[in-house]
């Protein structure tokens, strides 16, 4: 992958004036972690505002878990600093920092019952009212009746909630969730997503959630940082990342994208014109992320309109003619088409089943179109297939 | 139908083991207990009579109280020493040895490739009066100028500790190696310093190994007589040695058998109390 990586433009002060500011969130500056010759996290800058639900999203091996472990203190950065509410915690021992973790596979203490698992942190810090607080916390995660059971007597979803309660009861400045839902089945995962989000809103703590599941990151987090090869590729609100990806990796890793090679023929103040295999398409300047003469014109499959060859589609961006439908899959809410274009590439089209539009079959001649405000333009030097092999093992 | 057949297969599979136990454990045990109740005035020459002589037990305890107690104390001290040494070693092998883990385990077992007797005899050289250990201890005035180690309790306990250490290390290693390292990380994440984390997480999770290790060490150590024989003097005689000489030298079978039964009963009671106190029935 040869690509110019864009540093995330985080909100807040820049490097030069960060010295003694009152930033009360979690801040990573130039954090690097190498294991031998392998760089797990590469010169990472990250600001996580207090009270936010922040997701680190990326395929396995992208450095997201290492980042989390450095925040937890279970791993020490090779270089760089980590500050929390203005305090340097880079080298603080894990048991001396106000950060708690919900571990992947929970790591519940098998020799202690649910109550004692949850009470563990309070007892170590000799906090008063252990009994009342634990009972309240078990109430919050709806595990009151299970208090005297051992972890192995609980279901996966219940164990997950014990792990959450055990971390949450300490009211950490930052709660870290390391693929917390990875071991649950799909249905339970969906309900736990809602549950965790509800609890986060209720307690108002900062949550940092590590996941490789883009849907999970987008449903739960306010801010998503997409990581790859130890770097943050893009950071922003889920909708912003999805609608306006800045790299092929993000375009492919978050949802799916059609990426078509094109040559920029005109750069205007508001729009660019790109020659895409003979069809001129326009892209808003704000959505063009390359200065090069060539680029990848991107458009999400659900933004593409499909019509019979020769029909006038409602899209002022110009119509791309000459498509042949090569595959149709009906998935209920939508129909997904694969359309072979004259230049040989197959584009994806998702058509909502509103019941009003025409259905096509394999071999039909069609033309495609999309509204120009949905198109984006990416750096041609980037690999158009980057991020497409999503880690869906969870 | 299939359930019943499955059940029968299970019993059939048990059969060889049960037969073995009956033949080599139940029958000898019965014979031992029976012998312990024979008329104490009998002899090889005159033959023995079964006359339910429960007094044999009282005699055994009265006559051999010192070696009995000595055996239990030596066994206990050796077990505690094994636990301390073995725990550190097993911990290091399980958590710190990295790729040397299995090599180190092989080294723990390696002494078994040499005879028990030879290994115990070699401790005579180590602890010899003009050996380096005694010389050094004399030089630093831990031992007096005429002080010695051989033929003392120290030598016997050292021998026992050395000989039974692998029986402690292996179960401890098995227990420690099973502990998920993430649990230790979780403890650390939940405000437990390494020391507290050890006592709250690692130690309780290693208790099954501690219990089985101490049993595997204590039981044979308390019944051992080779170490006392080779490294001690008559003043360090352990009950195993007494039983052996009663059986083979004095030919006093009833006394030997009743002393064996007493020793066995004592150990069983101690083990039961210990296991209950450790609260590890459900972990075993």
| Domains in chain A, CATH or no CATH each | 15-243 (3.40.50.300), 256-379 (2.40.50.140)
Tell me how far apart the alpha carbons of residues B267 and B238 are, in angstroms, rounded to a whole number: 14
Q: B45 is written with which tokens?
A: 């020459």
> What mean pLDDT is predicted for residues B94-114?
91
In total, the C-beta contacts within 8 angstroms joining chain A to chain B are 61
Q: What pLDDT is attached to residue A312? A: 64
* Separation CA A104–CA B186 (nearest Å): 11
Please enumerate residues of B whose Cβ is less than 8 A from a Cβ of A.
180, 182-183, 185-193, 196-197, 200-201, 204-205
- Whether A390 shows a pLDDT value over 60: the answer reads no
Question: What are the tens digits of pLDDT across the range A83-140?
Answer: 998 889 999 999 999 999 999 889 999 999 999 999 999 999 999 999 999 999 998 8
Residues A345, B146: Cα–Cα separation, whole Å:
97
pLDDT for the residue B274:
87
Q: Are A279 and A318 in contact (CB under 8 A)?
A: yes
Confidence of residue A9 (pLDDT cuts 50, 70, 90): very low
* Nearest C-alpha neighbor of A52 from the set A32, A24, A28, A75: A24
**What are the backbone dihedrals phi and psi of residue A68, each rounded to the nearest 5 degrees, phi first?**
-60, -45
Chain B contact for A170 (CB, 8 A cutoff): yes
Between CA B63 and CA A104 the distance in angstroms is 63
Q: Is A109 on the interface with B (CB under 8 A)?
A: yes
A125 contact residues in B (CB cutoff 8 A): 191
Higher pLDDT, A183 or B71: B71
Res A268 pLDDT > 80: yes
Calpha distance B270→B283 (Å, rounded)? 19
Distance from CA of B220 to the nearest CA of A (A): 30
Of B185, B193, B197, the CB nearest to A107: B185
Quick one: pLDDT at residue B276?
84
Nearest residue of A to residue B206, measured between CA atoms: A111
Burial of A355 by CB count in 10 Å (0-12 exposed, 13-18 middle, 19+ buried)? exposed
Give the C-alpha separation, A251 to A259, whole Å. 9
- Distance CA(A165)–CA(B80), nearest Å, equals 39
Question: What's the order of all strands across the beta sheet hosting A305-308?
Answer: A305-308, A365-369, A319-330, A334-340, A346-352
Confidence at residue A386, expressed as pLDDT on a 0 to 100 scale: 83
Assigned token pair, B63: 């006559």
| Chain-chain contact of A100 with B190 (C-beta, under 8 angstroms) | yes
Return the bridge partners of A33, or none. Answer: A41
CB contact under 8 A, B191 and A107: no
Residues of B in Cβ contact (< 8 Å) with A103: 182, 185-186, 189
Please write down the long-range contacts of B233-239, taking CB distance under 8 Å and 24 or more positions apart.
B233/B151, B233/B152, B235/B151, B236/B70, B236/B74, B236/B151, B236/B152, B236/B153, B236/B155, B236/B156, B237/B67, B237/B70, B238/B67, B238/B70, B238/B71, B238/B74, B238/B156, B239/B64, B239/B67, B239/B68, B239/B70, B239/B71, B239/B263
More reliable by pLDDT, B44 or A358: A358
* DSSP-assigned letter for residue A6: P
Residue A30, SS3? Answer: strand
Q: How far apart are CA A212 and CA B134, in angstroms?
A: 65
Rounded to whole angstroms, the Cα distance separating B152 from B128 reads 12
Contacts of B196 in chain A (CB under 8 A): 124
Residue A201 and residue A179: Cα distance in Å, rounded?
19
Residue A378 CA to residue A16 CA, distance in Å, equals 30
Q: Give the separation between CA B279 and CA B211, rounded to whole angstroms.
A: 10
Which of the two residues, B282 and B257, has the higher pLDDT score? Answer: B257
Residue A2's pLDDT is: 39
Domains of chain B: 67-278 (1.10.3720.10)
Section B2-14 average pLDDT: 73
Tell me: pLDDT of A278 over 90: no
Query: Which two three-digit tokens encode residue B93?
Result: 């092998």
Q: Using alpha carbons, select from A25, A27, A23 the residue that is nearest to residue A8.
A: A27
3-class SS at B10?
helix
pLDDT digits (tens, 9 = 90+) for A144-156: 899 999 999 999 8
Q: Which CA distances in Å does B198 have to A127, A130, B202?
A: 21, 22, 5
Q: Do residues A75 and A33 touch, judged by C-beta distance below 8 A? A: yes
CB contact under 8 A, A95 and B189: yes
Is residue A148 a contact partner of residue A113, using CB atoms and an 8 Å limit? yes
């Amino acid at each position: 992958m040869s690509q110019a990586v864009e540093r995330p433009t985080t909100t807040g002060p820049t490097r030069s004036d960060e010295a003694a500011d009152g930033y009360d969130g979690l801040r990573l500056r130039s954090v690097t972690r190498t294991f031998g010759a392998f760089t797990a996290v590469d010169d990472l800058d990250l600001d996580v505002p207090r009270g936010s639900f922040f997701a680190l999203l990326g395929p396995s091996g992208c450095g997201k878990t290492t980042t989390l472990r450095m925040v937890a203190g279970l791993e020490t950065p090779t270089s760089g600093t980590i500050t929390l509410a203005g305090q340097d915690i880079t080298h603080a021992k894990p048991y001396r920092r106000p950060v708690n973790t919900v571990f992947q596979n929970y790591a519940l203490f098998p020799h202690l019952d649910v109550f004692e698992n949850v009470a563990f942190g309070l007892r170590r810090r000799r906090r008063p009212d252990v009994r009342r607080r634990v009972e309240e916390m078990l109430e919050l995660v709806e595990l009151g009746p299970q208090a005297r059971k051992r972890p192995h007597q609980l279901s996966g979803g219940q164990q997950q909630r014990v792990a959450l309660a055990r971390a949450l009861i300490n009211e950490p400045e930052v709660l870290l969730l390391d693929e917390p839902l990875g071991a649950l089945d799909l249905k339970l995962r969906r309900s736990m997503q809602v549950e965790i989000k509800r609890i986060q809103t209720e307690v108002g703590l900062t949550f940092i959630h590590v996941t490789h599941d883009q849907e999970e990151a987008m449903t739960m987090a306010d801010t998503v940082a997409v990581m790859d090869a130890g770097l943050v590729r893009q950071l922003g609100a889920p909708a912003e990342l999805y609608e306006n990806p800045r790299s092929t990796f993000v375009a492919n890793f978050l949802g799916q994208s059609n990426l078509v090679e094109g040559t920029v023929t005109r750069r205007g103040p508001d729009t660019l014109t790109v020659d895409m295999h003979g069809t001129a398409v326009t892209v808003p300047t704000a959505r063009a992320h390359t200065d090069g003469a060539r680029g990848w014109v991107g458009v999400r499959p659900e933004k593409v309109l499909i019509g019979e060859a020769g029909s006038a589609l409602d899209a002022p961006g110009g119509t791309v003619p000459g498509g042949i439908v090569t595959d149709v899959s009906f998935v209920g809410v939508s129909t997904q088409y694969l359309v072979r274009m004259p230049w040989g590439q197959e584009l994806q089209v998702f058509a909502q089943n509103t019941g009003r539009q025409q259905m096509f079959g394999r071999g039909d001649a069609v033309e495609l179109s999309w509204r120009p405000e949905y198109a984006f333009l990416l750096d041609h030097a980037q690999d158009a297939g980057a991020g497409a092999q999503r880690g869906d093992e969870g | 139908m299939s359930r019943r057949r499955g059940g029968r297969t299970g019993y059939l599979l048990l059969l060889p083991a049960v037969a073995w136990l009956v033949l080599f454990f139940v029958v000898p045990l019965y014979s031992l207990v029976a012998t312990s109740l024979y008329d104490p005035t009998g002899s090889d020459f005159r033959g023995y009579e079964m006359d339910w002589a429960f007094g044999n037990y009282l005699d055994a305890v009265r006559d051999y109280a010192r070696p009995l107690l000595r055996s239990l104390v030596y066994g206990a001290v050796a077990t505690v020493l094994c636990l301390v040494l073995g725990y550190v070693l097993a911990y290091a092998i399980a958590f710190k040895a990295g790729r040397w883990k299995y090599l180190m385990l092989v080294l723990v077992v390696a002494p078994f490739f040499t005879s028990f007797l030879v290994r115990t005899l070699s401790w005579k050289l180590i602890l010899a009066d003009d050996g380096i250990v005694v010389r050094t201890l004399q030089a630093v005035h831990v031992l007096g100028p005429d002080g010695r180690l051989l033929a003392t309790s120290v030598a016997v306990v050292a021998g026992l500790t050395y000989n039974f250490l692998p029986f402690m290390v292996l179960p401890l290693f098995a227990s420690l190696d099973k502990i998920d390292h993430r649990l230790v990380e979780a403890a650390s994440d939940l405000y437990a310093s390494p020391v507290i984390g050890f006592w709250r997480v690692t130690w309780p999770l290693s208790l099954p190994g501690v219990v089985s290790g101490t049993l595997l060490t204590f039981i044979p150590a308390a019944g051992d007589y080779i170490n006392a024989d080779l490294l001690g003097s008559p003043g360090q005689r352990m009950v195993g040695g007494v039983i052996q000489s009663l059986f083979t030298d004095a030919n006093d079978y009833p006394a030997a058998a009743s002393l064996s039964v007493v020793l066995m009963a004592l150990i069983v009671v101690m083990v039961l109390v210990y296991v209950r106190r450790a609260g590890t029935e459900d972990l075993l």
